[in-house]
Amino acid sequence: MKFNTKVIHGGQHHDPSTGAVMPPVYQTSTFVQTSPGQPINPDYEYSRAANPTRSALENALASIENGTRGLAFSSGLAATDCVLRSFKSGDEIIAMDDLYGGTYRMFTRIYKDSGIKFHFVDMNDIEKFKSLINENTKLVWVETPTNPLMKLADIQEIAKITKEKKILFAVDNTFATPYLQKPLDLGADIVMHSATKYLGGHSDVIAGALIVKDEALGEQLHFQQFATGATLGPMDSFLVLRGIKTLHLRVERHCENGGKVVEFLNNHPKVKTVYYPGLPSHPYHEIAKKQMSGFGGMVSFTFVSGKKEDAIDFLEKLKVFTLAESLGGVESLANHPALMTHASIPEDKRKEVGITDDLVRLSVGIEDAEDLIEDLKQALA
């Protein structure tokens, strides 16, 4: 199947008992057994281990990312946590230097105390990246594009190194979505999504996902999910599955509107720098063209003045864009990373990677682009 068909039919089956076109919401915690240890359906004993609605979502996730196994979690951070539980004291992890604040917080404030050593590096400095690899290196963790600076990493080039060194390679594909980028096809071992964002697409659910190519790795991660319990409930699974069915249509419009917003901002006298991988001036534009089929709807920018007050004033004046955390919904959202999504990163670290106090991040929605541009224009006036 091609992608537009996959999001609707990939890995999906009509309900065998009723013929329902959409999977029912199996709002049950447990399942009948005919004899001790003999459930009616061998796949379902207890909903923490497996639930038919969650299974339908997980099959869809595997399909759209070209994986063998999908796993659905109670949040994106729960999915990340499941991967990190594979490692022990003394292990080392190399991560991108620009990360979602919650990921950075988990790495530096939760798992660092467990004896795991983290290295943060610009993944485009391949020599520096390679110099950090040693016999204790067990995982490479990358976001591409990154949150909020839209940095990119060459998945294929990194995968060549990790395969040679027999190191697991995980890619947070939240910003790009499987519609624009396929990390498993490019050589990654694990794909992570905050399914709260584009996969759900309607700002009405918190969810996370992992998708893998290797079946044994999928089984290991499922055991960790089952044993620790951060699974996605059936109603939330239904909502994400419903969102996936329109993913291709929504992301097309996000990309279209994102391009128009970027063009406006890039020519505005009060805007200093626009961060968007679709711009030829973007330092990693060529990587984006190589591994993405479109440039997405996430845009960040700074002010000529460099003042935090100008960013706050702009955000307070917006009328169509909503000032709120999160991204990837049908509505346009605006965010101040330093005070909101990335406040958990120490100020010196934020400045080191380029998250300045005047940086604004936009999640461009699927409204009429003309209305979005008029809103930006009046807020900048």
CA dist., res. 140 & res. 137, Å (int): 8
DSSP 181-238: --TTTTT-SEEEEETTTTTT-SS----EEEEES-HHHHHHHHHHHHHH--BPPHHHHH
DSSP-derived letter for residue 24 is P
Sign of the dihedral through C-alpha 91, 62, 183, 142:
negative
Evaluate whether the domain defined by 1-241 bears CATH number 3.40.718.10: no
pLDDT, mean of residues 146-163: 97
Q: What is the pLDDT of residue 115?
A: 94
Q: Residue 65 CA to chain centroid, in angstroms?
A: 13
Model confidence band, residue 271 (pLDDT cutoffs 50, 70, 90): very high
**In this structure, are residues 195 and 171 in contact, taking their beta carbons and an 8 Å threshold?**
no
CATH fold for the domain made of 247-378: Aspartate Aminotransferase, domain 1 (3.90.1150)
Q: What is the pLDDT of residue 17?
A: 84
**Rg of the chain over CA atoms, in angstroms?**
21
How many CB atoms within 10 Å of residue 319?
A: 10
Tokens describing residue 367? 């409204």
Q: What is the pLDDT of residue 206?
A: 98
Beta bridge partners of 69: 212
Closest CA to 61 of 246, 210, 255: 210
Tens digit of pLDDT for each residue in 355-369?
999 999 999 999 999
The reported pTM is: 0.96
Is pLDDT at 341 greater than 90 in this prediction? no
pLDDT, mean of residues 331-342: 96
In this prediction, what percent of the chain has a pLDDT beyond 70? 100
CA dist., res. 75 & res. 206, Å (int): 5
Give the residue numbers annotated as catalytic, written as ranges: 48, 100, 172, 197
Q: Residue 46 CA to chain centroid, in angstroms?
A: 28
Tokens describing residue 46? 């207890």
DSSP-derived letter for residue 33 is E
CA dist., res. 71 & res. 232, Å (int): 9
Tens digit of pLDDT for each residue in 16-47?
889 999 999 999 999 999 999 999 999 999 99
Tokens describing residue 346? 């120490």
Is pLDDT at 344 greater than 90 in this prediction? no
| List of residues 6+ apart from 60 with CB closer than 8 A | 7, 10, 11, 12, 70, 241, 244
Is pLDDT at 12 greater than 90 in this prediction? yes
Q: What is the pLDDT of residue 16?
A: 86
Beta bridge partners of 117: 92
Model confidence band, residue 143 (pLDDT cutoffs 50, 70, 90): very high
Is pLDDT at 113 greater than 90 in this prediction? no
pLDDT, mean of residues 257-270: 98
Q: Would you kindly state where each structural domain of the chain is located, as residue ranges?
A: 1-241, 247-378
DSSP-derived letter for residue 95 is E
Q: What is the pLDDT of residue 290?
A: 97
**In this structure, are residues 336 and 315 in contact, taking their beta carbons and an 8 Å threshold?**
yes
Mean pLDDT of the residues in the chain: 97
Q: What is the pLDDT of residue 313?
A: 98
Model confidence band, residue 67 (pLDDT cutoffs 50, 70, 90): very high
pLDDT, mean of residues 243-262: 98
Tens digit of pLDDT for each residue in 169-199?
999 999 999 999 999 999 999 999 999 999 9
